[in-house]
Structure 1
Amino acid sequence: MLDLGASFLASVSRDPAALAVVDGDTRLTYAEWYRKISALVAGLDRLGLKKGDHVLTLMMNRWENASLHWACQFAGLIVTPLNWRAKGDEVEYAINDAGARAIFYEEMTREAVGEAPAAAGLPSVSAEELVSMMQGDAPDAAPRADAGDWSLMLYTSGTTSRPKGVPRRHRAERAGAVAHVAQNLYRHGERTLGVMPLYHTMGVRSLISSSLTGGAFICLPRFNAARAIELIEAEKITNLYLVPTLYHDVIHDPSFAPERVKSVTKLGFAGASMTDGLLKRLDEAFMPELFVNHYGSSEIYTFTIEQNAVAKPGSAGRAGINQIIRVVKLGAKAPDEHAATDEEGEIIAYLKGDESFEGYWNRPDADAKALRQGWYFTGDTGFYDADGDLFVTGRVDDMIITGGENVSPVEVESCLSLHEQVAEVAVVGLPDERWGKIVTAFVKRKGNVSAEELDAHCRTSGLANFRRPRRIVFVDEIPKSPVGKILRRMLVAGEYSTERPLEADQTAQ
């Protein structure tokens, strides 16, 4: 298999004059971008970086960041990106954990870098300095890595423990991108909105996939719904690959109109489940040719794919072309403890898949928990229906056990999302002396709707009575991670702001 540097060279050879990257006034063809990437490779050499070194990055989705990603692939360096919102202690941890040899940052992340003592002894390069490094002439860069070398190390979110490094090889990264092109039916010359961050697997996959199709990566450094709509319209973007939260914000922005996004023919989402209500609204607004639910992770990019998300709401589909997926009984210790059809269990993935990682960085404790007998235990819950399609119901740790019954938050959220006055909803279990946990819905509303009315909606929707929320709390915002995942732990901990109650508000009984 090609390494990623050679893969980019193939794209330059096929489409030298095609538009490759756009960021504000910067517009580069593949040939032009390759020259700048080559100059950056020479600049990395001047910093004394060697093949196999980790470089820490804290930048938004700027063209400079995308250029650095490709330059590292040529130079055989391991891109180790952090959320640009990271604090000094997080930067310190990553430097020491990865053994980083250089740091690349932008102005808004300068303070965090300065707060990390370990950064003081490392070369630190700003985005402006990166631009300067790309101004000079340099020999055409030649790939120094092979397909078996490390390409990238992402950090998983550390919501309950230290972040875990997920190192991935060139071959796994390219296999994930090729599968992404195939499973999303990308055509030659696709134009992609580059807004999912390059510290997240979705952003990296969009960047690499764009090059495979001779397409254009249209940078949106920091998400803003109105600006996203402007770029879709102006750059004639053809596909969107976003988390559900960003889709929600786009279609609810005052500037949104279907005619402004008519160039988009393909929608894809990942990172979190999409409620039935949002799914329906997006289909009506975009009328896409293809609407893909992609279920995966940083560790193993693709688990399953559903290419017609609207036809079977909630379905994550079937295993991707590089994967085998099973559902095992909750609490299973071995991969052969299969759950029955329609029985909720833990989802596991085959570690020999082409897109799979091989284990966490310096975390034998995490390996022992997640890697068993050649399978990756995801920590996600779900079930296979009678048709053989997978439904993801949440996290093992999010399961609500109320009165001895298991309740998946996702099912309750999908029910409530179909009410026209519900903007967003998140469901958790809160402690209760009698029931153990009570199903509690946190709702951001968009109209004058009461808890009693939402309870009536649940009663008449077909939702089983034991799954019905016993408490409904109206909030200003649903707490989320930077990539749009609901932070249920914050709701459980009481870290939210309640909306000022309307006269009709009351707790569902």
Structure 2
Amino acid sequence: MFDLGTSFVASVDRDPHALAIVDGTTRLTYAEWYARISALVVGLGEMGLTRGDHVLTAMQNRWENASLHWACQFAGIIVTPLNWRVKADEVDHGVDDSGAKAVFYEEVTEDAVATSAKAAGIIRKSAAELAELMQGNAPLAVPQASAEDWSLMLYTSGTTSKPKGVPRRHRAERAGALAHVAQNLYRHGERTLGVMPLYHTMGVRSLIASSLTGGAFICLPRFDAGKAIDLIEAEAITNLYLVPTLYHDVVHHEAFSPERVKSVTKLGYAGASMTNGLLRKLDDAFKPELFVNHYGSSEIYTFSIEQKAAAKPGSAGRAGINQMIRVAKLNAADPDELAAPGEEGEIIALAKSDEAFEGYWNRPDATAKALRKGWYFTGDTGFFDEDGDLFVTGRADDMIITGGENVSPVEVESCLSLHDDVAEVAVVGLPDERWGKVVTAFVKRRGNVTAEELDQHCKTSGLANFRRPRRIVFVEDIPKSPVGKILRRMLVAGEYREEQRIPEHQ
């Protein structure tokens, strides 16, 4: 299989004059971008960086960051991206854990890097310095890595412990991107909104898939719904691949109209479940040719794909083209202990996938827990329906056990989201002396709906009685991670602001 440097050269050979990347006034064809990347490869070498070195990146989705990603693929350097909201102690952890030889940053991350004790001992370069390096002349870069070399190392979210490094090889990265192209039915010359961060698997996959199709990666450094709509219209974006929260913000923005986003023919989402209400609204607004629910992870890019997401709300579909999936019994020790159809269990995926990682970086304990007998135990819960389609119900840790019954937060959230006056909702279990946990809904409302009206909505929707929220809390905002995942732990810990306004008819 191609290494990623060779893959990029092949894209240049096919489409040298096609638009490759846009960032503000910067517009480069594949041939022009290759020349800039080649100059950066030389610059990295002059810094003393060599094949197999780790480098930390702490930048938004700007063209310098995308260029650095490709330059590292040519040089055989391992990109190790950090969230651009990173703090100094997180930079310290990244340097210590990966053994990074350099860190690349921009204005928003300058303070974190400057105050990191560990970063003081390694190479530090800003985005402006990278841009300057790329103005130099250099021979066109020759790929120095093999398909077996490490391409990048993503960090998983650390909720109760330090983030875990997920190293991935060139061949796994390219296999994931090829699957992404196939599963989303991308055409030659697709135009992609490059807003999912390049420290996240969705962002990296969009970048590589864009090159495979001779397409354009349109940078939006930091998500802003109004700017996203402007870019979609101005650059005739053809596909969107976002987390549900960002879709929510786009379609509810005052500047949104179907006419302004008419160039978009394909919608894809991942990273979190999408409520039925949002699915319906997006399908009506965009009327896409294809609406894909992509279910996967940093460890194994694709678990399953549903290409008709709006037609079967909640379905994660069937295994991806590089994958096999099962639902094991909850707390199963063996991958052959399978749940029955309709029975909720833990979703597991075959670790032989072309897209799979091989274990966590310097974490044999975590690797042993996740990889068992050739299968990756995802920690997600779900079930197969009578058609053989997968439904993901949440994280095993998020499951609410109330009065001995298992309640999936996702099911309750989907029900409440269908009420017109519910803007966003998150459901958790809060401690209760009698029930163990009580189902509690945190609601951000757009109208004057009352808790009593929402309870009645749940009753008439067919939601089982034991799944109905016993408490409804109206909040100013639902806490989320930088990529839009609901942070249920913050709600459980009481880290939220209750809504201050008083509805008119309460």
Q: State the TM-score, normalized to the length of structure 1.
A: 0.99
Equivalent-residue separation in structure 2 for 1:157 and 1:44 (angstroms): 29
Distance 1:404 1:504, change over 3 A: farther
Is 1:302 paired with 2:302? yes
> Quick one: distance in 2 between partners of 1:427 and 1:243?
18
For residues 267-346 of structure 1, what are the structure 2 equivalents within 5 Å? 267-346=267-346
Q: What is aligned with 1:220?
A: 220
The percentage of counterpart residues that share the same residue type is 79
Task: Give secondary structure in 2 for the equivalent of 1:274.
Answer: coil
Q: In the alignment, which residue of structure 1 is the partner of 2:39?
A: 39
Matched, 1:234 2:258: no
Identify if the C-alpha distance between structure 1 residues 403 and 121 changes in structure 2 by more than 3 Å, giving closer, same or farther. same
Q: How does 1:314-393 map to 2 (within 5 A)?
A: 314-393=314-393
Q: Give the Cα–Cα distance (whole angstroms) in 2 for the partners of residues 108 and 480 of structure 1.
A: 20
CA distance in 2, matches of 1:232, 1:114: 36
Matches within 5 A, 1:107-146: 107-146=107-146
Tell me which amino acid in the other structure corresponds to 2:75. Answer: A
- Aligned partner of 2:439 in structure 1 is 439
* Number of the residue aligned with 1:262: 262
- The answer (yes or no) to whether the contact 1:452–1:505 under 8 Å persists in 2 is no
- 1:170 counterpart residue number: 170
Contact 1:426/1:443, CA 8 A, preserved across alignment = yes
Q: Distance in 2 between matches of 1:395 and 1:128?
A: 41
Which residue number corresponds to residue 453 of structure 1? 453
Deviation at 1:161, TM superposition (A): 1.0
Note the alpha carbon deviations across 1:169-221, whole angstroms, 9 max, x for none: 00000000000000000000000000000000000000000000000000000
Instruction: State the shift of 1:503 in Å.
Output: 5.2
> Could you say which residue in structure 2 is the equivalent of 1:484?
484
SS in 1 for 2:89: helix
Q: 1:326 touches 1:347 (CA, 8 Å); kept in 2?
A: yes
SS at match of 2:227: helix
Count residues in correspondence: 506
User: Is the Cα contact below 8 Å between 1:189 and 1:214 reproduced in 2?
Assistant: yes
User: Distance in 1 between the 2:404 and 2:504 partners?
Assistant: 32
| Amino acid in structure 1 at the alignment position of 2:312 | K
Structure 1 residues 503, 146: CA separation in 2 closer, same or farther (over 3 Å shift)? closer
Structure 2 CA distance for aligned equivalents of residues 505 and 434 of structure 1: 33
Q: Secondary structure at the match of 2:440?
A: strand
User: Cα deviations across residues 451-505 of structure 1 (Å, max 9, x unaligned)?
Assistant: 0000000000000000000000000000000000000000000000000252578
Q: How far apart, CA to CA, are the structure 2 residues paired with 1:29 and 1:138?
A: 17
Give the Å deviation of 1:443.
0.2
Look up the match of 1:427.
427
After TM superposition, give the deviation of residue 368 of structure 1 in Å.
Answer: 1.7
- The aligned counterpart of 1:99 is 99
Contact 1:166 1:357 in 2 (8 A): yes
| Partner deviation per Cα, 1:216-259 (whole Å, 9 max, x = no partner) | 00000000000000000000000000000000000111000100
1:51-66 equivalent positions in 2, closer than 5 A: 51-66=51-66
Report deviation, 1:11: 0.1
Structure 2 Cα separation of the partners of residues 91 and 342 of structure 1: 44
Is the CA contact 1:147–1:170 (under 8 Å) kept in the aligned structure 2? yes
What is the identity, as a one-letter code, of the residue corresponding to 1:305? I
CA RMSD after TM alignment: 0.8
Structure 1: runs of 5 or more not aligned: none
Q: Residues 402-431 of structure 1, C-alpha deviation per residue, up to 9 Å, x if partnerless? A: 000000000000000000000000000000
2:85 aligned partner: 85
C-alpha distance in structure 2 between counterparts of 1:160 and 1:173, whole Å: 28
- Identify the residue that residue 414 of structure 1 maps to in structure 2: 414
Q: Tell me the residue number matched to 2:75.
A: 75
Deviates more, 1:496-505 or 1:396-405: 496-505
Paired letter, 2:415: C
1:12 matched to which residue of 2?
12
Counterpart-to-counterpart distance in 2, 1:246 and 1:118: 34
Please tell me whether residue 152 in structure 1 is matched to residue 152 in structure 2.
Answer: yes
Task: Say whether the 8 Å CA contact 1:428–1:439 is kept in structure 2.
Answer: yes
For residues 370 and 66 of structure 2, what CA distance do their matches in structure 1 show? 31
Q: Distance in 2 between matches of 1:397 and 1:115?
A: 35
**Could you tell me which residue of structure 2 aligns to residue 468 of structure 1?**
468
- Three-state SS of the structure 1 residue aligned to 2:299 is coil
Contact 1:266–1:288 (CA<8 Å) still a contact in 2?
Answer: yes
Equivalent position amino acid for 1:174 in 2: R
Per the TM alignment, residue 434 of structure 1 is displaced from its structure 2 partner at its CA by 0.3
Decide whether the 8 Å contact of 1:39 with 1:138 is kept in 2.
Answer: yes
In the alignment, residue 459 of structure 2 is paired with which amino acid? R
Once superposed, which parts of structure 1, at least 4 consecutive aligned residues long, lie more than 3 Å away? 503-506
CA separation in 2, counterparts of 1:439 and 1:454? 14
Partner secondary structure for residue 6 of structure 1? helix
Is the 1:349–1:375 Cα contact (8 Å) retained in structure 2? Answer: yes
Partners of 1:409 and 1:426 within 8 A in 2: yes
Letter in 1 for 2:216: A
Using the alignment, how far apart are the partners of 1:380 and 1:36 within structure 2? 42
Q: Letter of the aligned partner of 2:298 in structure 1?
A: S
- How far 1:114 sits from its partner (Å)? 1.2
Q: Which amino acid aligns with 2:64?
A: E
What code does the residue aligned with 2:36 have?
Answer: K
Aligned to 2:394: 394
More off after superposition, 108-117 vs 335-344:
108-117
CA distance in 2, matches of 1:502, 1:231: 38
Match for 1:105: what amino acid?
Y
Gaps (5+ residues) in structure 2? none
Which letter maps to 1:180? Answer: H
1-side partners of 2:393 and 2:211: how far apart? 34
Following the alignment from structure 2 to structure 1, what is the Cα–Cα distance between the partners of residues 503 and 99? 57
CA contact (8 A) 1:450 1:504 kept: no
Equivalent position amino acid for 2:318 in 1: R
In the aligned structure 2, how far is the partner of 1:32 from the partner of 1:440? 54
2:10 and 2:401 map into 1 onto residues whose CA distance is 53
Matched-pair contact (CA < 8 Å) for 1:451–1:505: no
Cα deviations by residue, 1:434-453 (Å, 9 ceiling, x for unpaired): 00000000000000100000
1:243–1:483: 8 Å Cα contact kept in structure 2?
yes
One-letter amino acid matched to 2:452 = E
Distance across 2 between alignment mates of 1:199 and 1:415: 32
The DSSP-based 3-state class of the residue aligned with 1:130 is helix
Distance 2:251 2:118 in 1: 43
The code of the aligned residue for 1:326 comes to R
Q: Give secondary structure in 2 for the equivalent of 1:117.
A: coil
Q: Distance in 1 between matches of 2:505 and 2:429?
A: 21
Amino acid at match of 1:402: T
Query: Which string of whole-angstrom CA distances, capped at 9 and with x for unpartnered residues, describes residues 133-179 of structure 1?
Result: 00010011000001000000000010111100000000000000000
Q: Answer whether contact 2:449 2:503 (CA < 8 A) is retained.
A: no
1:243 is matched by which residue type in structure 2?
V
Which residue type is aligned with residue 367 of structure 1? T
Counterpart-to-counterpart distance in 2, 1:16 and 1:505: 63
- TM-score, structure 2 normalization: 0.99
